[in-house]
Amino acid sequence: MHYFCISFTHKNTDLTLREKLSLNDETKKSEFLKLVLSKENIIESLVISTCNRVEILAFVEDLEQVSKHIITALALLCEVDKNDLTKRADIFEDSGAIHHLFSVASSLDSLVIGETQITGQIKNAFHFAKNLGFCGDNLAFALHHAFKCAAKVRNQTQISKNPISVASVAVAKAKELLDLSQKKAVVIGAGEMAQLACKHLLQTGAKLVILNRDIQKARELSEELKCEFDSLENLPNYLNTHELFFSATNANHAIITDKMIKSVEFKRYFFDIAVPRDIELDENDNVKVFAVDDLEEVVRKNLALRECEAGIAYSIIGAMTTEFFKTLSDLTLTPTIKALRLKAKECASKQLQIALSKGYLKKSDEEEARKLIHQTFKAFLHEPTLNLKHLQGKKSEEIIHSLNYLFNLGEHNETK
């Protein structure tokens, strides 16, 4: 059995292609996972889809053709070139897959190092896949350790001190361009990214108006933040009267286009922090658009500040990856060790009864003989037991199969 991961991120895939690969729509995500699991040797799978990444995590019987099958399914569903995906994909297997998962969960692989959204996004991806029966105990075990690793990184480093997100980076960029104090910003959307943008904007002294398709959600958020709200239907009324816009909806197409923009005397700034993008505008002297990938300058500063802490975090991830496979090995080997000891005990008892029935031993010596046999097998199995406990990964799997075959442990082994 193997852990497996295919990764498309800001590191290997441009924003235009990431938009096409986005699996935020639950129906599309479910259809994709069904396609993935249609291959017999793929046992469990889940997909993490955010503005900066699409990660497909799987638990498989063997690695043959797995990457080809998953890439083909993704290309088919998202209508992109399979060969292009194959060239871009980062592929991780076994310890590499777990190390990568731990790095992602700990926000070491994020566009903004130390951002705190990713843990929640992974949890949502897991719950979605689990509730629909696409993943079970094996991926749950890996994710439990990933969250444990992320918590350790947060607690033992300063990497998430003063948490940073794509939304906060967008606000920081806006602050470089404008004095936000008392400036009215239009925030489009009421989801997690939009809420983060709102909170960071309020900290600068900006005033807010929240636009959302679900007016009730806009009302609830505005009441919490004590700001204005309106229906997304009225967006055209704001586009040509306000200077500052932050858009973070789950729309599958652009909601702000050139035909909606009129010529005005003042400069307007649009921050598109959605994937797929919400904004498709031709820039000019008075219209500036910043998408996720345009915020890299601020991200680089963030990376430089956190580089030392990232080194500490990676050492934690390395240690936790080793610990994960040791725990996994122990869980896998324990039933086999128990089965081996039980088989030895049953064999000894059977031979003792034969010896008694044939008169090789006196009945009065039975208890002493039983103790001697027990101590003999205990001593004999001590060293093999210790050696088994130090095995990990594929090597332990092969030896377990060999032991089951050699000693015929089938009915004694809980894993069979």
Which residue in 5, 51, 149, 227 is the catalytic one? Answer: 51
Q: What is the DSSP letter of 365?
A: G
Question: Which of helix, strand or coil describes residue 415?
Answer: coil
- Is residue 257 annotated as involved in ligand binding? no
Strand ranges inside 255-342, DSSP E: 256-257, 268-272, 279-280, 287-290
- Is residue 190 annotated as involved in ligand binding? yes
User: Does residue 212 contact residue 154 with C-beta atoms inside 8 Å?
Assistant: no
Q: Tokens 């190390």 label which residue?
A: 99
Give the Cα separation of 146 and 406 in Å (integer): 36
Question: Which of helix, strand or coil describes residue 8?
Answer: strand
Got the DSSP string for 322-354?
HHHHHHHHHHHHHHHHHHHHHHHHHHHHHHHHH
- Is residue 191 annotated as involved in ligand binding? yes
Give the Cα separation of 170 and 277 in Å (integer): 14
- Is residue 194 annotated as involved in ligand binding? yes
How far from the centroid of its chain's Cα atoms is residue 399's Cα?
Answer: 31
- Is residue 52 annotated as involved in ligand binding? yes
The candidate with the shortest Cα–Cα distance to 206, out of 237, 177, 235, 239, is: 177
- Is residue 116 annotated as involved in ligand binding? yes
Give catalytic status of residue 51 as yes or no.
yes
Give the Cα separation of 182 and 295 in Å (integer): 24
The amino acid at 339? A
- Is residue 51 annotated as involved in ligand binding? yes
Task: Supply the residues annotated as catalytic.
Answer: 51
Q: Specify binding-site residues.
A: 50-53, 110, 115-117, 121, 189-194
Q: Specify binding-site residues for substrate.
A: 50-53, 110, 115-117, 121
